[in-house]
Amino acid sequence: MNSLIQWNLNGFYKKIIDLKLLVNNLKPSIICLQETNLKPNHNATMKNYQGYFKERQTNPNRASGGVAILVKNNIKSSPIPIISELEVIATKIQLHQEITICNIYLPDSMVFSYQQIINIIKQLPSPYIMVGDFNSRNTNWGCNHTDSRGKIIEKIIDDENITLLNNGTFTRHNSSKGTFSAIDLSLASPSISPYLSWEVKTDYFNSDHWPILINIHHRNSPHTPYNTNKWNLRNPNWTLFSDIVDKPMSENQMLNNELNTDDIDIIVKQFTSIITEAAHKSIGKTITHPKKTPVPWWSKECNNAIKNYKKALNRYKKTKTIPDHINLKKAKTLSRRIIKHQKIESWKKLINDLTPNTPIKEAWKKYD
């Protein structure tokens, strides 16, 4: 299974620590960023990813807006030229099939038309996934009101038979006003949408937008679980296992008679069924979660700060009271401070541990 992250991070270099943490934890195959805030003709880099960028060209001396698509180096990818005056970029990637990824940013201050978006969609080879910050509000995807921009996007979705992946969850928190909205949208062509799952990741908060995780499942297994089941071999009951196996093995005539090669497939199937049933009753299975390799500077204090922030966020979502909003802002500020402090302290420790004989590659591996 592959995954895609979309995020309006509001500054590539400003949020580079958060972006690296996001990549380290979720290990996405594709990353779509909005408001990269890079100067024209200044392409950033991300370790192990091929980057495709489109910067805002209005002011060469001011870094603002812009979109980027980052694709893992081990995935074949190539740019798709899009003719549009809007901030949009597209790439073609090869997973279990060829998929088009399109990333768009529509600032609040920009007026766009129905036809401009349609013209972009017509340039996207199917199947495609189109994500971005649309700054378009509609109750159909979780906003508390519908504006003219939201009506345009809604009409496009209906007219083009596009699937909206959003499930009504808020994607943005305006901390100054204490309001929530769902203006980050994820769209897909109907042929691929059944194989996509969508989730907002509120653990990452160092932007007014939350990252969105889209899992891309293979066609022959559209809902493959992220967790896996394994036999729980820590406390097996082998006595029970033997007792369960003995009776059906001794009573099965095919297993006790002289082997007939014509019946080999049936025999193997019956034998496997007996062993598997006994294992389920005497050993059992346990759910294993893919291990996340923590960054060197991550600590228990960081974990607690994230938990407290999520607790404050969930409470404010329910109450919408001023005191709970103040507590949410405090939790967010404190979390940022703790994570930044841990990063700095880790850097200091790295410097102190360095010796003239420490290889450069080893030093950066410890830190990055």
What sign does the CA torsion over 286, 303, 4, 95 have?
A: negative
Most confident residue range from 116-125, 189-198, 226-235, 332-341: 116-125
Which has more pLDDT, 202 or 234? 202
Are 283 and 232 within 8 A, CB to CB?
A: yes
Higher pLDDT, 205 or 328: 328
Q: Which two tokens stand for residue 113?
A: 């038309």
3-state secondary structure at position 239? helix
Q: What are the angstrom distances between the C-alpha of 50 and each of 30, 88, 95? A: 10, 17, 15
Residues 6+ apart with CB under 8 A from 342: 297, 298, 299, 301, 302
User: Are residues 203 and 310 in contact, defined by beta-carbon separation less than 8 angstroms?
Assistant: yes
Residue 330 pLDDT: 80
Phi and psi at residue 93, in whole multiples of 5°? -125, 155
Burial class, 140, CB count within 10 angstroms (exposed 0-12 / middle 13-18 / buried 19+): middle
Sorted by where each begins, the domain ranges of the chain are 2-216, 230-286, 300-366
Per-residue pLDDT, 27: 93
Q: How confident is the model at residue 284 (pLDDT cuts 50, 70, 90)?
A: confident
- 13, 44 contact by CB (below 8 A): yes
Q: Residue 319 has which token pair? A: 């109450």
Q: Among residues of the chain, what percentage have pLDDT more than 70? A: 79
Q: What pLDDT is recorded for position 241?
A: 79
Q: Give residues with Cβ within 8 angstroms of 278, minimum separation 6.
A: 241, 244, 245
Q: What is the mean pLDDT of residues 27-32?
A: 96
Check pLDDT > 90 for residue 235: no
The sign of the torsion formed by the CA atoms of 32, 38, 43, 45 equals negative
- 113-118 long-range CB contacts below 8 Å, 24 or more apart? 113/152, 114/152, 114/155, 114/156, 116/84, 116/85, 116/86, 117/86, 117/152, 117/153, 117/156, 118/156, 118/159, 118/160
Higher pLDDT: 324 or 126? It is: 126
Between CA 152 and CA 116 the distance in angstroms is: 11
Looking up tokens 């302290």 gives 345
The pLDDT value recorded for residue 222 is 42
Tens of pLDDT, residue by residue over 302-325, are 778 777 877 887 787 778 788 877
**pLDDT tens per residue across span 132-150:** 999 999 999 989 899 999 9
* Helix (H) / strand (E) containing 321: none
Residues 6+ apart with CB under 8 A from 256: 250
Residue 202: name the closest of 312, 352, 71 by CA. Answer: 312
CATH numeric code, 2-216 = 3.60.10.10
Does residue 289 have a pLDDT over 80?
A: no
Between the alpha carbon of residue 318 and those of residues 38, 314, 315, the distances in Å are 37, 7, 5
Condensed to tens digits (0 to 9), the pLDDT of residues 169-224 reads 999 988 778 788 999 999 999 999 999 999 999 876 567 899 999 999 976 654 44
- The sign of the CA dihedral 328, 329, 332, 335 is negative
* pLDDT at residue 164, as a whole number: 95
**The pLDDT of residue 5:** 97
> What mean pLDDT, rounded, does the chain reach?
82
Length of the chain equals 368
